[in-house]
Amino acid sequence: MTTNAGAPVWNNDNSLTVGSPILLEDYHLVEKLANFDRERIPERVVHARGISAKGFFEVTHDISQLTCADFLRAPGVQTPVIVRFSTVIHERGSPETIRDPRGFAVKFYTREGNFDLVGNNFPVFFIRDGMKFPDLIHAFKPNPKSNVQEYWRVMDFFSHHPESLHTFTFLFDDIGVPQDYRHMEGSGVHAYTLINKAGKVHYVKFHWKPTCGVKCLLEEEAIKVGGANHSHATQDLHDSIAAGNYPEWKLFIQIMDPDHEDRYDFDPLDTTKTWPEDILPLQPVGRLVLNKNIDNFFAESEMLAFNPALVVPGIYYSDDKMLQGRLFAYGDTHRHRLGPNYLQLPVNAPKCAHHNNHHDGYMNFMHRDEEINYFPSRYDPTRHAERPPIPPVVISGRREKCSIEKQNDFKQPGERYRSWAPDRQERFIRRLVDSLADPRLTHEIRAIWVSWWSQADKSLGQKLASRLNVRPTM
């Protein structure tokens, strides 16, 4: 045992004293306490409760005609990954049985840098513009006065945003509480773009499907499981990998030609919408296998940082307004939580060679002995990399703050509701009624919700109106 400076520690049990008083010169004691006092870092504002595992992604189907991404170049190519599963709203020590979206984030350590596919277990999101994200999270978070999560706040906020209905058909559905992380789907949620060597662009959506199937917990099961072990999903993932029962997901993509964007009755870049699979079928790409548990929770889960802005040549962003907001927000929160050099941490650092002139700052531990830290220089051979293909679309227009045109907020929620068996519909209605029956909610707010669900499905609206004793304000 040594100090942080490497000096041997000959007694780690007792403080240095003269008689009873402890001496300030006991350097090891001061260092030990000082490190302990600072061993917690700021908790994530969202996705605080999570766990990671490591493994690989293997290409199983050739999509090189769609993208020049090196890690997707041919079947059989494997790329190391680390994956973090999480809940969204509640704190780091919260139960894993809470009804909440789940995070499904994959970091690919490719030969061309890191690609972070940061998604959820739902294929849609509550809002379509990042401007509303802080308000959304504030509504879901505990009441700032009582520190209790109260659903009247949630229903009040979303009574202004009918775009949220589609995501509520997932949150209040049976899949709102996954059985564990192994039996959970994942989605990139956003539309990205794939670009091939010729510069041809396609919109793409990413979908993870577990090979062991999707399983969820109903209310009584969730209470029983959560009451016995509030870390049940973390333990299940760890124990499964330790036993050699490696979780596996298949990666599928949906592809859309940008020239066909206007063919639909919704905006394909709207995160509150899914792409119809009968028109844009799922195409297999590869498989994700998690075969190694992390060695240290703090180093490989707490300090693990994802950023949707991290893409590789052959994959690019789209004009999805939520995605565009996330491109800034994620890196910004990591620089606050972990520091400006968070990408130097081993779990976040790329595995390929990398070099730039970003220097110094808090916790910069990269050893550098070169004299040239500017570009260009005739004393340094550093040069520009080969230009990757990016979407060639020319953008023009005037500055304005506006919503998308084709909102169509009620069609897809209604279709999803009607696709369920009657018992599943009944459980969904019960959860909606429980949320809308909160005594803090006004008759006006309840009437708005009933009106919206009536527009999604007339019979659903009638059932809600009857149980809540309100009439829709249509």
Core vs surface per residue 143-172: b (16+ CB within 10 A) or e: eeeeeebebbbbbbbbbebbbbbbbbbbbb
Which residue in this structure is represented by tokens 């506006």?
A: 402
Q: Could you confirm whether 120 is annotated as catalytic? A: yes
3-state secondary structure of 24: coil
One of 28, 47, 161, 166 is an active-site residue; which one? Answer: 47
3-state secondary structure of 432: helix
Q: Could you confirm whether 232 is annotated as catalytic? A: no
Task: Please confirm whether the linkage preceding 376 is cis (ω < 30° from 0).
Answer: yes
Which residue in this structure is represented by tokens 């959860």?
A: 431
Tokens of 418: 């009607």
DSSP symbols for 149-205: --HHHHHHHHTT-GGGHHHHHHHTSGGGSBS-STT--EE--S-EEEE-TT--EEEEE
- Residues paired with residue 424 on neighbouring β-strands, in sequence order: none
Sign of the dihedral through C-alpha 317, 272, 142, 224 = negative
Pair 172, 431: CB distance under 8 Å:
yes
- Extended strands (E) in 70-158: 78-87, 102-110, 113-120
- Residues paired with residue 118 on neighbouring β-strands, in sequence order: 105
Pair 36, 60: CB distance under 8 Å:
no
- Among left, alpha and beta (phi > 0; psi -120 to 50; other), residue 82 is beta
Spatial CA neighbour of 300 closest among 32, 4, 54: 54
- The CA-CA-CA angle for residues 278, 280, 282, to 5°, reads 90
Tokens of 204: 């793409």
Pair 70, 386: CB distance under 8 Å:
no
3-state secondary structure of 464: helix
One of 120, 121, 307, 348 is an active-site residue; which one? Answer: 120
SS (H, E, C) 53-75: EEEEEEECCCCCCCCCCHHHCCC
- What residue type is assigned to position 260 of the chain? H
Q: Radius of gyration over alpha carbons of the chain, in Å?
A: 25
Spatial CA neighbour of 82 closest among 228, 230, 292: 292
DSSP symbols for 284-295: EEEEEEEEEE-S
Provide the annotated active-site residues. 47, 120
